[in-house]
Amino acid sequence: MTSFIWQVGTHHIPFLIGTDCAEAVARKLGELEADRLLVISDENVLRLHSQRYEPVLQKAHVTGWPGSEMDKNLAAVESLASQLIVAGVTRRSILIAMGGGVLGNLTGLTAALLFRGIRFVHLPTTLLAMHDSVTSLKQGVNCAGAKNIIGGYHAPTAVFVDTAFLQTLPSAQIRSGLTELVKNALILGGDYAAQLSAALGEPEMDWLGIIQLGIAAKQSLMRDDPHERSAALALEYGHTIGHALELSCGGQLSHGDCVAWGMRCAAWISRDLGYMNESGLERHESWLDRLGELPRPRELADMDEVRRRIRLDNKRGYLPVGADEVAMVLLREPGLVMNAECGVPLTAVRMAAVERMLGCLGRAWQMEQ
Ligand SMILES: NC(=O)c1ccc[n+]([C@@H]2O[C@H](COP(=O)([O-])OP(=O)(O)OC[C@H]3O[C@@H](n4cnc5c(N)ncnc54)[C@H](O)[C@@H]3O)[C@@H](O)[C@H]2O)c1
């Protein structure tokens, strides 16, 4: 097993990363001196992994959560907090989020609110969670059709990554996790893109290496921007449209697939506005091609709904924009993010350009129906 400290702002978060390491995770949890360990887990994960994770689960109170992205809301936080209070949670307890990014966000926000903040650890079980959602202090849930709009910043006490969870992860969820790695390559370029490209070209995936690459990429942007309010806003590439699609498609597409479509749409907008040339667009497409064919929703999303949700994007306010504009992360070319004059990596985009992009998206989706 490898251990390292992930430094973000003033936080020094211990990471342990390995394969099939339930015993080691149980030992490390024991060292944290909690009065109670309370595992909150995705029900799919419990079904598939509770036997293997017996060393952890036998010492903990276990709560299964049957929900999904469409249930990631304040009602779920309240319901979970109520169950934990009944189960005897105290200020010295530790919550353990054993699941994907949805479960991690729900548990992280609940931990931030219980007793105004208790400890929690991440035990991520999806590829996306292993390198992306656990490497963020943001804990949020959805409200009024807007993604992650209610939340706070709360650092995990530790993160335990066990790649053996990937053995049961459906291929669609593997692609979802790869999408955020490809996003990092599109915004960072350089050595990271070269290393990711080489790793994805191997006949067998070296998950430990790939996950550590993703974690390091996020650290490069977040170390001095732990709240993701300036340079690290670039990590939101593809998310303005992606988040709008994710909720509008009602869970038909994964988070990663929506972000991949969101990146393709952002590149169309950048080309349409004359920021990205054809060669840049081709290189952008060839990165997305590495993800294979992106699934379309079985039923075409209502574009009015997508339009409304784009306006509800949770980055509103970082860049002053007009009433008919939306702030988006755009690229001039792969590896080159556009910055506003005030320095944030955001560009004001007129809704007219968004409308043209939605026309392209509608045609792309209908072609395959
Ligand atoms: N806080 C952040 O900065 C941040 C960053 C990225 C993503 N997110 C959030 O993460 C969420 C997406 O997370 P996700 O992609 O992990 O999806 P998810 O948590 O919905 O999990 C996807 C599916 O995989 C199943 N699953 C999980 N682990 C499994 C395993 N080992 N084997 C078999 N099935 C398994 C789950 O039951 C679920 O059906 C979104 O809500 C997104 O907003 C947050």
Task: Write phi, then psi, for 309 (nearest 5 degrees).
Answer: -70, -30
pLDDT at 145: 86
Determine what percent of the chain is predicted with pLDDT higher than 70: 99
pLDDT tens across 133-171, in order?
Answer: 999 999 999 999 899 999 999 999 999 999 999 999 999
103 lines ligand 1 (CB under 6 A): yes
Tell me the pLDDT of the chain averaged across its residues: 96
- Average pLDDT, stretch 48-59? 97
**Shortest-distance atom of ligand 1 to CA 147:** 43
**Atom 35 in ligand 1: residue holding the nearest Cα:** 169
pLDDT at 369: 42
Helix (H, G, I), strand (E, B) or coil at 328: strand
Q: Judge whether 318 and 346 are in contact, CB under 8 Å.
A: yes
The secondary element (H helix, E strand) that includes residue 39 is strand 37-42
pLDDT at 15: 98
pLDDT tens across 177-197, in order?
Answer: 999 999 999 999 999 999 999
- Average pLDDT, stretch 104-121? 98
The set of residues, in sequence order, having a beta carbon less than 8 Å from that of 10 and lying 6+ positions away, is: 226
**Atom 37 in ligand 1: residue holding the nearest Cα:** 44
Pocket test for ligand 1, best of 109, 120, 126 (most atoms within 8 A of CB): 126
pLDDT at 77: 98
Report, as residue numbers or ranges, the catalytic residues.
138, 236
**Shortest-distance atom of ligand 1 to CA 72:** 41
pLDDT at 367: 58
48 lines ligand 1 (CB under 6 A): yes
Q: Judge whether 36 and 61 are in contact, CB under 8 Å.
A: yes
Q: Is the pLDDT of residue 300 over 90?
A: no
Beta strand pairing call for 146-153 and 336-337: unpaired
Pocket test for ligand 1, best of 173, 215, 309, 315 (most atoms within 8 A of CB): 173
**Atom 22 in ligand 1: residue holding the nearest Cα:** 100
pLDDT tens across 241-288, in order?
Answer: 999 999 899 889 999 999 999 999 999 999 999 999 999 999 999 999
Pocket test for ligand 1, best of 70, 133, 237, 245 (most atoms within 8 A of CB): 133
Q: 239, 264, 13: which is closest to 119 by C-alpha? A: 13
